[in-house]
């Protein structure tokens, strides 16, 4: 049995989709369902059971679950605007520690979600080399809660036994419940559909024109392939970036969305809030040398071009009668 925590969420449900494509359905979904529509992410997916996250950890630690082959731990509070640090630490740090210690003790494969947010403003680079972890300076409490688990695992020499993945700007089907945390791709689609234009922050740096701020946008289907590659190869451990390794501008992204919709691109540049200016990232790009290294993870598959990925997302999901089901999860 494979356990997926956060299985009703964006990346968690996409991982179920990825496993289903392999005809794997002996899956235990772990999540905390509240008042949003994330339950719809499980429509048309195959799994054996669904359990609350607190009930799961209690059963796991007392040995009340049948054989667990591996855990894909995607569950967390992922709201970068969350200010309750104690809540973040309980969900993102302490809970992950309990899972890691159980997996190490029982020789069970664990892949956990760290975050590219741990890189802070990017001034220390975006390398996933462990020796550089202490140089990173997260900019918010969410990133801090992820970063201190990475440090804890590193200091206790557990990174040689588990896998951490740092997701960059993932977009794609099943992110609809995420509110303000939804991708800029989805925000662009919704704004263009509703108003005919897309709002972007102005640039306050001379080296970046308005809209030329850059992100490493990665399609969720590519992210799933990367995570499952790391899960499959048990000799691979440590932290890996999950991205394309190619930064693209917000204007590139918005143009691809408008083109997929058959619309003319219109952009309104707006003022950036004062409380955001000091924490705003102008550039992110995953260093994926470790993931691609033939002597390391040896991930060979090329990621989908941004324009092709957005075209698939828009036409086969967002513009269909039911984006949760789309035109099939091909």
Helices marked H in 4-52 — which ranges?
10-20
Catalytic-labelled residue, pool 161, 178, 263, 289: 178
Query: Tokens in use for 151?
Result: 């440090």
Q: How far apart are CA 167 and CA 33, in angstroms?
A: 23
- The neighbour count for residue 64, using CB atoms within 10 Å, is 10
- 71: DSSP letter: E
Contact 169, 138 (CB under 8 A): no
- 283: DSSP letter: B
Residues 6+ apart with CB under 8 A from 278: none
Phi, psi of 40 (to 5 degrees): -65, -20
By the 10 Å C-beta count (0-12 exposed, 13-18 middle, 19+ buried), 283 is classed as: middle
Contact 37, 10 (CB under 8 A): no
Catalytic-labelled residue, pool 142, 189, 250, 313: 142
Q: How far apart are CA 317 and CA 189, in angstroms?
A: 12
Respond yes or no: is residue 158 known to be catalytic. Answer: no
Respond yes or no: is residue 178 known to be catalytic. Answer: yes
Which residues carry out catalysis? 142, 178
């Amino acid at each position: 049995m494979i356990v997926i925590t956060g299985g009703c969420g964006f990346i968690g449900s996409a991982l179920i989709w990825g496993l289903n494509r392999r005809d794997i359905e002996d899956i235990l979904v772990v999540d905390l369902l509240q008042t949003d529509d994330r339950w719809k992410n499980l429509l048309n997916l195959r799994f054996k059971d669904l359990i609350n996250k607190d009930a799961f950890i209690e059963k796991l630690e007392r040995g009340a679950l049948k054989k667990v082959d591996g855990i894909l731990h995607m569950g967390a509070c992922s709201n970068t605007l969350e200010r309750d640090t104690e809540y973040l630490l309980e969900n993102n740090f302490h809970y992950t520690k309990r899972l890691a210690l159980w997996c190490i003790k029982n020789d069970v494969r664990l892949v956990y979600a760290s975050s590219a947010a741990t890189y802070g403003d990017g001034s220390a680079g975006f390398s996933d080399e462990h020796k550089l972890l202490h140089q990173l300076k997260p900019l918010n409490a969410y990133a801090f809660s992820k970063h201190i688990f990475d440090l804890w695992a590193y200091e206790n020499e557990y990174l040689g036994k588990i896998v951490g993945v740092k997701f960059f700007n993932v977009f794609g089907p099943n992110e609809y419940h995420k509110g303000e945390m939804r991708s800029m791709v989805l925000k662009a689609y919704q704004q263009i559909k509703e108003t005919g234009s897309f709002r972007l922050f102005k640039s306050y740096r001379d080296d970046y024109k308005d809209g030329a701020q850059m992100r490493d946008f990665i399609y969720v289907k590519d992210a799933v392939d990367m995570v499952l590659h790391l899960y499959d190869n048990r000799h691979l451990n440590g932290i890996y970036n999950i991205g394309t390794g190619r930064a693209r501008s917000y204007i590139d992204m918005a143009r691809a969305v408008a083109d997929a919709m058959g619309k003319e691109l219109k952009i309104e540049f707006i003022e950036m809030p004062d409380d955001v200016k000091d924490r705003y990232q102008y550039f992110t790009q995953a260093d994926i040398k470790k993931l691609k290294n033939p002597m390391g993870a040896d991930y060979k598959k090329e990621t989908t071009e941004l324009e092709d990925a957005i075209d698939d997302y828009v036409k086969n999901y967002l513009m269909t009668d039911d984006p949760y089901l789309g035109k099939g999860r091909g």
